[in-house]
Amino acid sequence: MGDAEPEVVPAVESTADAIAAMEIRGAATIADAAAAALATQAEGSPAETPAAFRRGLRAAARTLYETRPTAVSLPNALRYVLRGVDGDTVTELRASTIDRAASFRRDLEHARETLGGIGANRLRDGDVVLTHCHSTDALACVEAALEDGKALEAIVKETRPRKQGHITAAQLREWGVPVTLIVDGAARRYLDAADHVLVGADSIAADGSVINKIGTSGLAVVARERGVPVMVAAQTIKLHPDTLTGHTVAIETRDEREVLSDEERASIRSSDAPDGSAGEPGSEDGLTVENPAFDVTPPRYVDAIVTERGQFPPESIVTLMRELFGDTTDEPWAE
Ligand code: RUB
């Protein structure tokens, strides 16, 4: 392999495919996998010159970056690793990439544990938490509270269409936490039995808005109406630096078949429709399915954002964001 064509090793392509297909999912897990994939690229790069090595690494980062737009932990992870790549020879560059990816992954694990300890302080013995989706950061708070000897119960929203609530339920049951699983539409009915709404975040904007799994914002609004505090557990890797300069967070929309199979669509389609629209799946038949994966919860519905750096009212998160990211966000993976 010469200098002309940057080569992305197959393992990076596999990681990117797994993230896109949601076999690897959840913001922190995606970040961890992306950093690991860059280390794999470094290990397997056939580059013979430093320039070719760097080009390959940037190409690998681009491949990963393009998988899911809403989880800012992904570009934050890529940026962190690429900024630490240093050396004059391929051997040095390889070693520094591998080291940097490893230190990122260690920090991620450590941040989750620290955050869990901080979040656990909000949970009292006997409390009931109501969860949405599956968040490793949110579960870290539960785990730390259990380790402190507190007994907790959980009401777990199923989380359509992908039912990540089942993953949360499985983890909580593994820890011995009694779980009541409910469909998403039942949340308001069960809020009076909850002491906290506990969710994670895919991204957090500079104004304290929380971007998380679709349905989080509705849950937060209803929780405010019922007087149940909303706690968001999110490592600082979820802070979205682009929003410091006024950018909005892109909301991923996914395949409609996650919501409605071709068979279901066919059963809804009416051959008697006055517009005569019955046709093959995917054709114009007057039935539109929207499948946004995330939504935006305004800061006024959030009581606290728990990070490894402490807990913050959402409106003050911008201070931490400036301290950690400054006002500039480059894209070191650009060609
Ligand atoms: C996952 C999701 C999670 C956040 C935080 O969405 O919305 O709440 O990513 O997760 P998806 P974590 O299933 O579409 O990836 O706390 O594990 O980083």
From start to end of 249-325, where are the E strands?
Answer: 294-297, 304-307, 310-312
- Closest CA relative to residue 67, chosen from 109, 9, 28, 25: 25
Residues with a CB atom less than 6 Å from ligand 1? 25-29, 71, 133, 135-138, 164, 200-202, 212-213, 293
- Ligand 1 centroid–CA 47 distance in Å is 35
* Ligand 1: nearest atom to the Cα of 132: 8
Output the pLDDT for position 278: 57
Output the pLDDT for position 5: 67
Question: How many C-beta neighbours within 10 Å does residue 53 have?
Answer: 26
Helix (H) or strand (E) holding 128: strand 128-131
Query: Please, are residues 151 and 163 in contact by the beta-carbon 8 Å criterion?
Result: no
Output the pLDDT for position 246: 84
- Token readout for 177 is 């936490």
Output the pLDDT for position 327: 64
d(Cα 38, Cα 210) in Å, to the nearest integer? 28
Mutation test residue for ligand 1: of 213, 231, 251, the one with most atoms within 8 Å of CB: 213
For residue 95, give Cα distances in angstroms to 53, 88, 128, 305: 12, 11, 47, 36
d(Cα 65, Cα 71) in Å, to the nearest integer? 10
- Token readout for 115 is 């955050």
- Ligand 1 centroid–CA 288 distance in Å is 26
Q: SS3 of 233, please?
A: strand
Mutation test residue for ligand 1: of 25, 30, 114, 259, the one with most atoms within 8 Å of CB: 25
Query: Please, are residues 79 and 332 in contact by the beta-carbon 8 Å criterion?
Result: yes
* Ligand 1: nearest atom to the Cα of 233: 16
For the chain, where are the alpha helices, taking DSSP H only? Answer: 10-20, 27-44, 50-65, 73-83, 90-120, 136-147, 165-174, 187-191, 216-226, 262-268, 317-325
The average confidence (pLDDT) of the chain is: 94
pTM over 0.85: yes
- Ligand 1 centroid–CA 328 distance in Å is 25
Output the pLDDT for position 2: 44
For residue 270, give Cα distances in angstroms to 261, 289, 290: 16, 16, 20
Instruction: Write the residue with the smallest CA distance to atom 1 of ligand 1.
Output: 26
User: Would you name the residues annotated as active-site residues?
Assistant: 133, 202
Instruction: Write the residue with the smallest CA distance to atom 7 of ligand 1.
Output: 213
Output the pLDDT for position 328: 61
- Ligand 1 centroid–CA 201 distance in Å is 6
For residue 255, give Cα distances in angstroms to 113, 311, 317: 34, 36, 33
Instruction: Write the residue with the smallest CA distance to atom 6 of ligand 1.
Output: 26
d(Cα 19, Cα 34) in Å, to the nearest integer? 9
Mutation test residue for ligand 1: of 24, 130, 164, 230, the one with most atoms within 8 Å of CB: 164
Cα three-residue angle 41-47-53, rounded to 5 degrees: 65
- Ligand 1 centroid–CA 278 distance in Å is 37
End-to-end CA distance of the chain: 18
Instruction: Write the residue with the smallest CA distance to atom 11 of ligand 1.
Output: 26
- Ligand 1 centroid–CA 46 distance in Å is 34
Look at the chain and count its residues.
Answer: 335
Residues of the chain with pLDDT under 50: 1-3
Amino acid, single-letter form, for residue 43: E
* Ligand 1: nearest atom to the Cα of 138: 16
Phi-psi region of 290 (alpha: psi -120 to 50; beta: other; left: phi over 0): beta
d(Cα 27, Cα 136) in Å, to the nearest integer? 9
